[in-house]
Amino acid sequence: MAGRRPGAAAVRRLPDPRLTGLGGGLFCGLVMLVLGLIDAALFASQTAYGVLFLPVSALTALWVRRGDLLTAPVVVPIAFAVGLVPLVDSDGTGGAAMGMVTGLATQAGWLYGGTLIAGTIALVRRVRMIRRRNARNRPQG
């Protein structure tokens, strides 16, 4: 057991799915829609929805496969808007549109935070991938 980190076995047990760009978008969109519906039924709080958005953003960026890393920061804000639909006040089409605009404006901090988390994780993963590839392709000797 020498040379092993104590938490390495626990980390290996965690799920490690690799989603395509479309799969990441569907995952994030569906999870946010379900969270929006649950939040609307239990709390009706856009702040609670925003807090729940942050870990979903991180998971989306962590679970998307390497070739589709750049899609994570794109699909995350779209999923935020999809999940916000059940939380907005709506009286007809115009009321729903105004509710969405108001919801997106008042929750912009959570939206930007989640997008920043997804973008940062994707960027770090991309830089690590490029460094590994360059180290592997570097001539030995």
The confidence score (pLDDT) of residue 91 equals: 81
pLDDT in tens, 51-89: 999 999 999 999 999 989 999 999 999 999 999 999 988
pTM: 0.83
> Cβ neighbours of residue 51 under 8 Å, at least 6 residues apart?
110
Instruction: Give the CA dihedral 64, 67, 73, 76, nearest 10 degrees.
Output: -40
